[in-house]
Amino acid sequence: MNCRHCGASLNHTFLDLGFAPHSNAYLTLADLAKPEKYFPLRVKVCDECWLVQTEDHAHASELFSPDYAYFSSTSSSWLAHAEQYATQISSELNLNTDSLVIEVASNDGYLLKNFVAMDIPCLGIEPTDSTAMVAEEKGIPVLRDFFSEALGKQLAHEGRQADLIIGNNVYAHVPDINDFTRGLKSVLKSGGTITLEFPHLMRLIEHCQFDTVYHEHYSYLSLSTVSRIFQATGLRIWNVEELDTHGGSLRIYGCHDDDDREDHQSVSKILHLEIIRGMQQLDVYLDFQFRANKIKNDLLCFLIKQKNAGKIVAAYGAAAKGNTLLNYAGVKPDLLPLVCDAAASKQGKFMPGSHIPIFSPNQLFVKKPDYVLILPWNICEEVRHQNADLEKSGVKFITAVPELRVL
């Protein structure tokens, strides 16, 4: 396999998680009687441009199916994050009724509904019917397709170039990152702005967030690599912000490379920090597997110990990262009998691979477990706040990443 960006041969493995089903391929009761598809889940690192990337095994249409079960609006903290961003960026860019905002991977309209409320014209691009339908019910126009250079050129030809292009947690999800980036340039108006949010590879390595590795994430991104991809496409990153979301993310601000905006010092600051942290040194990547294995082993030891002691451990959040963790650890319902999740689209189904049943959160009060393992550790405090009565009753919450911790 060659690097998806620069084409160099990939000779180094960053992480090998064996074989796993797709992390959002939740199962029905009838599905349990059928064979389940597993795919290799290995991640390589390019020692030329330092793009970290999964091996090619699954087509995007398999991963982002019409009945896609992830709805962004499930998380109240993410809704608040989106609202704050919309207010901030519309003011900074002086967006008005003559502007156009395009969001790539607009999901269920969690973000664009804020622009609709401000009477700022917008367009969502979303390939999954299940989420696009919900967005349309909020009055958001949605183009149901995968974003590409061809689509970007088509929109530009139709006179629909954007003053603002938004891509939150989609840049890592595209199999052809060069084509996607050329699409961004094609549909960006002269003087327009691109903002992309994505988990920062530096933080992933620092906190050993190996459970964020799954087939939907084709790429794991540093600022230096994204800057290189932008430059190759005729774009430029002129500002960057560090965010707390998803365990540590970046929000980059891009423009055409001939834009007269000056680069903010934040860009050089984070590029320098990445160098100091060894993000262009192979040893940093080759040490990651050992650290991931320790997290997996510590969780298994804890679950076995509690089972032998007659304790019940349940989980909260049927998240994709949870599926990566449970499948790599080989956890089944004998050690973790249930997972609770607030998303109605997941309730009544089963976790892929582990086949752990998914219930609504009120089942935690019925089952009364001794411990609750929070799988989406990035919204840990939100989960604890929503389940404060459970914690007051003596139930202990735990997380497994970056280390096993009783909260």
The answer to whether residues 155 and 278 belong to one domain is yes
Co-location of 150 and 220 in the same domain: yes
73-77, 109-113, 138-142: least confident range: 73-77
Instruction: Report the percent of the chain where pLDDT is more than 70.
Output: 96
pLDDT of residue 77: 83
pTM of the shown model: 0.90
pLDDT band at residue 40 using 50, 70 and 90 as cut-offs = very high
Q: Which of 232, 259, 285 finishes a domain? A: 285
| CATH classification of the domain holding 214 | 3.40.50.150
CATH label of the domain that carries residue 368: 3.40.50.720
165, 227: one domain: yes
Residue 72 clears pLDDT 80, i.e. is over it? no
**pLDDT score recorded for residue 267:** 98
CA 114, chain centre distance (Å) = 21
- Does residue 69 carry a pLDDT above 60? no
> Does residue 321 fall inside a structural domain?
yes
Pair type for strands 142-143 and 122-125? parallel
Domain finish residue from 216, 250, 285: 285
Report the alpha-carbon distance of residue 254 to residue 271 in Å, rounded: 15
| Within-domain flag for 161 | yes
- Tell me the HSE value of 145 on the side-chain side, using a 13 A CA sphere: 12
Residues 275 and 311 in one domain: no
**Mean confidence (pLDDT) of the chain:** 94
73 compared with 195, residue with greater pLDDT: 195
Q: Residue 167 falls within a domain, yes or no?
A: yes
Question: How, if at all, do strands 339-340 and 313-316 pair?
Answer: parallel
Whether the per-residue pLDDT at 66 is higher than 60: the answer is: no
Q: Looking at the predicted structure, is the pLDDT value of residue 61 above 60?
A: no
Domain assignment of residue 326, yes or no = yes
* For helices 265-276 and 223-233, angle between their N-to-C axes, nearest 10 degrees: 130
Task: Report, as an integer, the average pLDDT of 76-98.
Answer: 95
Average pLDDT of 258-268? 97
Least Cα distance to 184 among 220, 159, 158, 155 occurs for 155
Whether 320 and 247 share a structural domain: no
Q: Does residue 17 register a pLDDT over 70?
A: yes
Query: 327 with 384, same domain?
Result: yes
State mean pLDDT over 286-292. Answer: 96
pLDDT value of residue 111: 95
Same domain, residue pair 202 and 227: yes
Tokens, residue 85: 């961003």
Same-domain check for residues 306 and 179: no
What's the CA gap between 324 and 331, in Å, rounded? 11
**Predicted confidence (pLDDT) at residue 68 exceeds the cutoff of 60:** no
Q: For residue 106, is it within any domain?
A: no
Q: Is residue 69 part of a domain?
A: no
- 353 and 276, same structural domain? no
> Domain range spanning residue 151?
146-285
Given a cut of 80, whether residue 23 has pLDDT beyond it is: yes
With residue 142 as reference, give the H or E element that holds it: strand 142-143
pLDDT in tens, 144-179: 999 999 999 999 999 999 999 999 999 999 999 999
Confidence of residue 64 (pLDDT cuts 50, 70, 90): low
| pLDDT > 90 in the chain, percent | 90
**338 part of a folded domain:** yes
Kindly tell me if the per-residue pLDDT of 63 is higher than 60. Answer: no
User: DSSP 3-state assignment of 249?
Assistant: strand
Tell me the per-residue pLDDT of 320-374, one tens digit each, with 9 for 90 and over.
999 999 999 999 999 999 999 998 989 999 999 999 999 999 999 999 999 999 9
Residues β-bridged to residue 316: 340, 374
pLDDT tens for each residue of 190-236: 999 999 999 999 999 999 999 999 998 999 999 999 999 999 999 99
What mean pLDDT do residues 90-112 have?
A: 96
Q: What per-residue confidence (pLDDT) applies to 224?
A: 98
> 267 with 334, same domain?
no
Residue 20 CA to chain centroid, in angstroms?
18
Is pLDDT at 62 greater than 70 in this prediction?
no
Structurally, how many domains does the chain consist of?
2
Domain end call among 285, 315, 339: 285
* Chain length of the chain: 407
The count of other CB atoms within 10 Å of the CB of residue 290 is: 9
Residues 279 and 301 in one domain: no
Q: 263 with 375, same domain?
A: no
Question: Helix crossing, 149-157 with 177-187: angle to 10°?
Answer: 10
Residue 177 pLDDT:
97
Q: In terms of C-beta density within 10 A (0-12 exposed, 13-18 middle, 19 or more buried), how is residue 156 classed?
A: middle
Tell me what percent of the chain is helix, strand and coil, each rounded to the nearest 5.
40, 25, 40
Indicate whether 297 belongs to any domain: yes
